[in-house]
Amino acid sequence: MKGKTAPRNTVQEVRDNPIIGFITAMGEGGSGILAQEAQGQRSFVNSDTLPTDISKEDKATLAAAGVKFLGPVDGDDLFQYVELPQGWKKVTTDHSMWSNLVDADGKVRANIFYKAAFYDRRAFLHL
């Protein structure tokens, strides 16, 4: 979608260049994977997406609150493009696999899980 950003697709990166997976996995004490997950969280929080794995009820609640669901990210079935209401944003937590969706008043509206590790990449959202 033109003008919208999506998280890095770490699985596709490894498919395109398998040496990336090797280098990431060889990081000292697993630090390469941890770094990939932390970078994935930053990439997600700064993107124009939410996970596609959302219950119908939660998606309807978010839509009623003003979240606009714009369609899937091409080549990445984990995410869909969205437009958040004014003042809403995604924020990191102290765990690299969890982020929060907060409204303009700072109230947490949803918890978002995103594991960016190339070998087990997944994402979901729940209210």
Continuous segment of H or E residues that includes residue 108:
strand 108-115
- Report pLDDT digits (tens) over 77-122: 999 999 999 999 999 999 999 999 999 999 999 999 999 988 899 9
| Paired tokens of 28 | 């000292």
Q: Are the CB atoms for 116 and 43 separated by under 8 Å?
A: yes
Domain total for the chain? 1
Instruction: Give Cα 47 distance to the centre of its chain.
Output: 8
Within a domain: 44: yes
Quickly list H helices, the chain. 10-16, 18-25, 31-45, 56-64
Within a domain: 14: yes
Q: Provide the whole-model pTM.
A: 0.84
Within a domain: 97: yes
Taking alpha carbons only, the member of 66, 80, 77 closest to residue 109 is: 66
Q: Which domain holds residue 109?
A: 10-126
Within a domain: 4: no
| Paired tokens of 86 | 């004014």
- Report pLDDT digits (tens) over 10-58: 878 777 876 766 666 666 565 777 888 888 899 999 999 999 999 999 9
